[in-house]
Amino acid sequence: MQRPDKGKVLVVSAPSGAGKTTLVKHLLSQITSLSFSVSATSRAKRENETDGKDYFFLTKEAFKQKVDEGGFLEWEEVYEGVFYGTLLSEVNRMLSQGKHLIFDVDVVGGVNIKKHFGNDAMSIFIQAPSLGVLEQRLRSRSSDPEDSIRQRVEKAAHEMTYAPLFDVIFTNDDLNVAREQLTLLVKSFLEKE
């Protein structure tokens, strides 16, 4: 049984362009007991992003130092020289306050977080209807250079092999339907003793 002084964990993972961040933002707007677990990254900050809100932006050297110090719940070199991870100190601080945390992480991080928290976590894999749709979504963002888009599409095929390791698999074909179904599913999980 879940202790009332400790929050639950929701892990949402997907290939880039599947709609994961859009769905996570929707869940945060609909479920007030959810708090966003801000990941750390060594990638460059995009124009519309805020340090400490979207990510904790670290230099590659600072990220590696945190790894050496055991400062991450999970971390991964997602692309060559580009690291993402979850700061253990932030997770422990928020959970000890009784907050439910939602993680927007890559598939390897999602599997690792689920293993760490077990039944106190629900893991959800979001996928696009096809790789072609995923590529179209990435191009419509207009925030990544062509070589990055190609790299992300190639990586997506591999990431989709992780889907069976998640508790729930969602195909984000119709965003409105996905929002509604996901909100009901998450509310049920968080309310369950």
Contacts of 81 (CB under 8 A, 6+ apart): 42, 60
Q: Which two tokens stand for residue 26?
A: 């929707």
What is the average per-residue pLDDT within 43-48? Answer: 92
Percent residues over pLDDT 90 in the chain:
52
Q: Using CB atoms within 10 Å of the CB of residue 85, give its burial: 0 to 12 exposed, 13 to 18 middle, 19+ buried.
A: buried
Ranges of each domain in the chain: 9-191
pLDDT digits (tens, 9 = 90+) for 161-170: 999 999 999 8
Is 105 in contact with 74 (CB distance < 8 Å)?
A: yes
Q: What would the CATH number be for the domain defined by 9-191? A: 3.40.50.300
The model's pTM = 0.80
Q: How many CB atoms lie within 10 A of CB 71?
A: 17
Helix or strand run (H / E) with residue 86: strand 82-87
Contacts of 150 (CB under 8 A, 6+ apart): none
pLDDT digits (tens, 9 = 90+) for 76-85: 888 889 999 9
DSSP string, 125-187: EEE-S-HHHHHHHHHHH--S-HHHHHHHHHHHHHHGGGGGGSSEEEE-SSHHHHHHHHHHHHH
Q: What is the mean pLDDT of the chain?
A: 88
What is the average per-residue pLDDT within 124-139? Answer: 81
Whether 2 has a pLDDT exceeding 70, the answer reads no
Q: pLDDT-based confidence at 139, cuts 50/70/90?
A: confident
Rg of the chain in Å (alpha carbons): 16
